[in-house]
Structure 1
Amino acid sequence: MEKYGQYRDKGSGIAPFFPISAQASGVYLPFHIFLFVCRVPLLIAVSVTYFLLFSWLAVGSLIKKAALWCLLGIPGVWWVDIQIDGVKRGSLAKHQNRLPQPGTLIASSFTSPIDCLYLAAIFDPIFTSSYPNNRLVERISLYTAILRALSPPKLTPSPTARLLPLHQLLSENPDSAIVVLPECTATNGRGILPFSPSLLTAPAKTKIFPVSLRYTPADITTPIPGAYISFLWNLCSRPTHCIRVRIADAVYNTAASSSRPNGTKSPLSKKPNSYETNFFDGMNIGDSLSDADTLVDNIDGDNLTQEEMKVLDRIADDLARLGRVKRVGLGVKEKDDFLKAWKKTRKVI
């Protein structure tokens, strides 16, 4: 791996884009093959039924969650170790206010398609896609969010994507939590990438819950895009998988209540049909969005203020602490370069 040394973090030596090798099956290979052959057709059948039928029907969230738990249970993802900062084990029911609720944001780690599947089964949220150096997000479906974990990283949104700030998305969907994947691309879970500034468009009074998801074994992470067969084999050939879920105390976007720096002109102000103009002219927002008009609306996400950097650093530090990993200086651009070098010598299966 020496030839990929430039894709290791200089400070820690962590390589967040390398795939994690699966443990050899050994004498259990026939049993693993049996599990794989039995599970994959069933998993495909339930997935097709859910995404082509249930996700479009006006059925209750309980029915959808039950179907999602079936999707998790078929490959053996049925042991979940969940813990909340400052909450003793066994007393989770007494601290429901420490969990993400409708109207809050979930800043989640991003390592596997199972991430979004689990979050959907628990919180029934809205998923978004973030992009480097862009403060706006794109609303996506659960299916798209799962595919993004197996897709190449995107440096910029597609020309047809509808981008909007988080405060507008929260206002339009007050009965749902919203998932933000601030790292913008999947990793192997061994480091936290630099964040997109999209979280900075959250209102000052909205709770942001850092949520870390880790897996045992860790070979179901998907840092290499397109590895569908490898992912399915690692997922369906093992008897069980454990999800380790850690939720930090809520963080607030304290930068949202700060006024714009002197001389900073918002690019949105040049556009009469901007999201900011349409949103604030046509709606009567409540207390939770009262400070949204003071957000720094630099769409490109450049020139972060010191307070904005503190907000992103706090959430990134929480995710690193919860996952027992370190933050790294490698981002989406470095992963894109890594994949180009990787494909020259490796064949993704």
Structure 2
Amino acid sequence: MEKYSQFRDRGSGIAPFFPVTSTPAGIYLPVHIFLFLFKLPFFVTVATTYFLFLQWFPLGSLPKKAILWMMLGIPGIWWIDLQIDGVKKGSLAKKHEGRVPQPSNVIASSFTSPIDSLYLAAIFDPIFTVSYPHTRQIQEISLFGAILRALLRPQEHPPKGAKMTDLKDLLAEHPQRVIVVFPECTTTNGKGILPFSPSLLTTPPGTKIFPVNLRYSPPDVTTPVPGLYFSFIWNLLSRPTHCIRVRIAEVVYNTSKPTDPVAEKKERYLTNFLDTLGEDSAMTSSTDTLASLSDQPAEVNAEEKRILDKVGEALARLGRVKRVGLTVKDKAAFIDAWSKRKR
């Protein structure tokens, strides 16, 4: 692994992109094979029936959640531990108001596995979104799209023709739904929190943002490396049970005052233009700068960075991990290096 040292965080040495090695089955391999072959037909039948047919019918929230819980139950995924900041164990029923996500709230979730989306859908029936590192806008996707995205290669930029919006408009369009954001933009192995997309900064000031961290035991159902479909299904179905530990932090509000990078650059353009009046080369350069304003990523000011840091620190504390400096671009480079090693 020494040759992959560039994909370790410099400060902590954490490698968030390495796949988690499964514990060898040993003498229990026949049991694992039996469990896999026994569960696979049930899981495939329920999943295909729901995603191909039932999700398009107006069944209502409760029947859909029941089917999703069935999908979680077949592999033996159990929700064994829930901790909420500010709520003692056993007192959630008395003090749940404002402590758990409700309609018109935003969930900023960790992103490690396809199970993340399935679990959140079974609990909150939310709308899922995709965030990108260089834009504040988000892309609305389906539950199946969110599950599949955890198994795909990360993308730095939205695909051509993608319908983009922001959290403010999406919340206004769906006031009775929870919105899920994966601000890290790509999956990790759960050992670190990546830098955030600025998409959370379009949340209205009065909207609650809930940092939510999901951890799995055993952790080999995480999918930091894309394309490992069979490995994920094998790890998911060949064991008797999997445990989910859910942590919900206190509410974070977007109290920042957003910058207007277009206005700032226009002002800089006018200043430079006046300072260099008569210089054709400078005028041409300034014109090119103004023409490319729409292609520039959203800038983040100090107050906005503080909000993103607050959510990131909450996710790191909930997961008992550290924040790292590796980005989506670093993960893409890691995937290329990892693929060459396999070949």
TM-score by length of 1: 0.88
Equivalent position SS for 2:144: helix
Task: For 2:46 and 2:204, locate their aligned partners in 1 and report how far apart those are by CA, in whole Å.
Answer: 38
2:42 corresponds to: 42
Task: Tell me the amino acid that sits aligned with residue 76 of structure 2.
Answer: G
Measured after TM superposition, the shift of residue 93 of structure 1 is: 1.5
Aligned residues: 316
How many angstroms apart in 2 are the aligned matches of 1:300 and 1:177? 30
TM-aligned CA deviation for residue 165 of structure 1: 1.0
1:63 Cα offset (Å): 0.2
Question: SS at the partner of 2:169?
Answer: helix
Gap change, CA 1:301 and 1:19, over 3 Å in 2: same
Match of 1:87 in 2: 87
Closer/same/farther in 2, CA of residues 34 and 216 from structure 1, 3 Å limit: same
| SS at structure 1 position matched to 2:29 | helix
Q: Would you say the 8 A contact 2:214–2:246 is kept in 1? A: yes
Q: CA deviation at 1:261?
A: 7.8
Deviation at residue 260 of structure 1 after TM alignment: 4.8
Runs of 4+ in structure 1 over 3 Å off:
258-263, 297-302
Kindly indicate whether the alpha-carbon contact (under 8 Å) linking 2:261 and 2:298 is maintained by their aligned counterparts in 1.
Answer: no
Q: CA 1:178–1:265 in structure 2 vs 1: closer, same or farther (change >3 Å)?
A: farther
Q: Give CA deviations for 1:140-192 in whole Å, capped at 9, x if unaligned.
A: 00000000000000111111110011100000000000000000001000000
* Structure with the greater alpha carbon radius of gyration: 2
Identity %: 61
Q: Give the aligned residue type for 1:172.
A: E
Structure 1, unmatched stretches of 5+, are 267-296
SS in 1 for 2:317: helix
| Superposed displacement of residue 265, structure 1 | 5.8
Matched, 1:346 2:342: yes
For structure 2, the 5+ residue unaligned runs are: 267-292
Question: Given the superposition, is the C-alpha separation of residues 259 and 3 from structure 1 closer, same or farther in structure 2, using an over 3 Å criterion?
Answer: closer
Distance 1:228 1:299 in 2: 35
Q: RMSD value over aligned CA atoms?
A: 1.7
Q: Distance in 1 between matches of 2:27 and 2:264?
A: 65
Match of 1:264 in 2: 264
CA deviation map 1:32-58 (0-9, x unaligned)? 110000111111110001111221000
Classify the secondary structure of the residue corresponding to 2:46.
helix
Q: 1:263 to 1:90 in 2, by over 3 A?
A: same
| Secondary structure of residue in 2 paired with 1:46 | helix
* Structure 1 residue 81, shift from structure 2 partner: 1.0
Amino acid at match of 2:198: P
SS in 2 for 1:340: helix
- Does structure 1 residue 170 correspond to structure 2 residue 166? no
Task: Measure, in 2, the Cα distance between the counterparts of 1:331 and 1:183.
Answer: 8
Cα pair 1:135 1:300 within 8 Å, conserved: no
CA contact (8 A) 1:197 1:301 kept: no
